[in-house]
A and B are shown apart, each in its own frame.
Chain A
Amino acid sequence: MTDRRRFEQQVLPHIDAAFNLARWLTRNDHDAEDVVQDAMLRAYRHFEGLRGEARPWLLAIVRNACFSWMQRNRPAELAAGPDAEAAEAATAPADGPEALLARELDRRMLNEAIAALPLQFREVLILRELEDLSYREIARIANVPIGTVMSRLARARRLLAESVRVIAVASRLQTEK
């Protein structure tokens, strides 16, 4: 079997996962397409390096392609990273409120709130909740220790619950006007 055939069997089926991650990180269809195409070609070139499961392996490549793309096109958003991290360490309470009732979760609000999360929190949240990856796999993809995955995930959920609540209140005020 040719490399191309094997690639089409093992890696291409995960194109939806690749696109989903790139779309959530770049927040734009067009950019996500460019990034995924770039990542797929890179994956093809490094195909011999694939050991184990194809999906996390591919997602790591897509993630790196996204970050290089951001570096070139939206450096400001990447630069916000370390600050947000510091803020996280400074403010993260041991038991902040993730309080949010499922019925409050409006689809549109939720999607807006996820898109508004700082990049490093959005990343772990998407990998965990939409790709259903383990902490270990996420740590490998995001290239951080498992402990960091855990704290970012906790922070992501807390931020998300808070901002959904804020958006909900704001839209209620809007309709009351």
Chain B
Amino acid sequence: MKPEEAARLLHAYVDRELDAAKSLELEAQLAADPALRERFERLRDLSAGIREKADYHAAPSSLAARLSAALPGAASIAPRRATRWILPVAAAALAAALAVGIALVRPGDEDALLREMVASHVRSTLGNRLIDVASSDQHTVKPWLSARLPFSPPVADFSQEGFELAGARLDYVGGHPVAVLVYKRRQHLIDAFIWPGSGPRDSAYSRDGFNVERSSAEGMRICLVSDLNRNELSDLARLLTARR
């Protein structure tokens, strides 16, 4: 690979858009050329810096309300052709459901789940209840979790890859008990919520400056929550799902 081509491909490499063959070639070049290596590192830091520090403008809640009013069709139950008794009955059923706290199957369930996890992450970083079992030893953490949960989550330390296992805690999210592995990377804390199940894979949810990376592997859902940038967060997701 010529130096000009290597320089041109650096961006694509940082953006993970290079195929395996080209990546290998470029990595060989990076190992041999300190100047290129330095450019790569600066570029990577710039990209990480933007992800970390640029404002993510979440929609104001007033906008959702405006939209709800502007969209055609009714937001909830719309008994256009319903006979007169349906409305009161539906209203009563809804009130009853709300009264006993039954979670209706709503479109926002996944969204609510994500919000719960972000909230749990924020609470745990604010207070002292970050870690119930503090250990970087997976052979300490895993049995501790297995003894307290109806399932056995995968536990691994990735210090080699820059994600140090700090410990774990238990939490209750989306109506079930979950394992939360806590990882450290530089000054960032990453919570990995793990429970049996499957769900959507979407790497780009974020709220209030926190990123959520969703994945699942072998019957476990793994959701990472952190203020760490998405690229590095998906690195950890890949490690966690590959290890199983």
The 8 A CB mask of B49-73 against A (1 = contact, 0 = none) is: 1110111111110111011001111
Residues of B within 8 A of A23 (CB): 57
The 8 A CB mask of A75-86 against B (1 = contact, 0 = none) is: 000000000000
* B side interface size, CB within 8 A: 48
In the complex, are the beta carbons of A15 and B67 less than 8 A apart? Answer: yes
Q: Which residue of B lies closest to A133 (CB)?
A: B204
In the complex, are the beta carbons of A37 and B63 less than 8 A apart? Answer: yes
Least Cβ–Cβ distance between A108 and chain B, in angstroms: 9
Instruction: Please report the C-alpha to C-alpha distance between residue A63 and residue B110 in the assembled complex, in whole angstroms.
Output: 26
Most chain A CB neighbours (cut-off 10 Å) among B46, B62, B78, B111: B46
A interface majority secondary structure: helix
Please tell me which one of the listed residues A19, A98, A128 contacts residue B59 in the complex, with CB atoms under 8 A apart.
A19
Residues of B within 8 A of A133 (CB): 204
Residues of A within 8 A of B67 (CB): 12, 15, 37, 40
Interface size class of A (residues with CB under 8 A): 35 or more
Question: Which A residues between 122 and 137 are near B, CB-CB below 8 angstroms?
Answer: 125, 128-135
Question: Which A residues between 96 and 141 are near B, CB-CB below 8 angstroms?
Answer: 98-102, 105, 107, 110-111, 114, 125, 128-135
Mark B residues whose CB is within 8 Å of A: 4, 7-8, 11-12, 15, 17, 39, 42-43, 45-51, 53-60, 62-64, 66-67, 70-75, 78, 107-108, 110-111, 202-204, 206-207, 230-231
